[in-house]
Amino acid sequence: MYKFLYLLSYYPTGEPVEQEEMKKLAAEKAVHYVEDGMTVGLGTGSTVEFTIKKIGEMVKNGLKIKGIPTSLKTKRLATELKIPLVDLDANTEIDVTIDGADEVDSNLNLIKGGGGALTREKIIAYHSKKVIIVVDETKIVKGLGCDSFLPVEVTKFGWQATKKALEELGCTAELRKIMDEPFITDNQNYIIDCDFGKIAEPENLEKEINNIPGVLENGLFIGLADEVIVGSKQGIMTLERQDIIT
């Protein structure tokens, strides 16, 4: 039988800081896990952009890594920073992935997908030896779904039927739009944002959603994060998970 142990480390930084600075503190702390010769999963989102920019500086100064981006947006940024990129099909084992999250609960489960890259993010996280999540303190919640919608990537074909099936699980659902047009993912699919309120059993809900035909993936990331680095007003906190056999 396995139990999870959560370890909290705290690194004070002095004066209180604002949200953007909290993001930067957490994101730049994560680069300590990146070593020469690694294959690194590069996440998507405003917080992890700070990490990618820092890695770009390290590459410029001689660090030799291979990056695998989780989105076209991240690919463009990494290319601008001259970070060498490779394809997941040719590099199926990733040493470490650094990514952000929309919500993190006390079990280190996540909601992701605010940027619409959830399917690629989950694929890359699954194939990573270690997954580091960087967030500011506003993303730590008492229960998933408290502050964020749950994104679900669906095929364009039959999306309204898929939306109806999602609502039958107990949520209100809306097709994500940008400027009154449907948001299109990098995989050329739609996103349906689902409001379940506080999710009591995220492990079960993840499976129920993915069993609906037309669903490609949902934004519940269960048991994938190994460590969460949190930028707070007082400094940096780290939450780690260790598997203990009892």
- Return the active site residues: 121
CA dist., res. 153 & res. 220, Å (int): 12
CA dist., res. 99 & res. 180, Å (int): 29
> Facing residues of 96 across strands?
40, 130
Listed in order, strand segments (DSSP E) in 13-154 are 39-42, 66-69, 94-99, 103-104, 110-111, 128-136, 150-154
CA dist., res. 192 & res. 175, Å (int): 4
**Residue 62, CB half-sphere, CA atoms under 13 Å: how many?**
0
Closest CA to 74 of 36, 105, 46, 39: 46
Closest CA to 93 of 66, 129, 63, 67: 129
Is residue 230 a contact partner of residue 236, using CB atoms and an 8 Å limit? yes
Closest CA to 78 of 90, 91, 67: 67
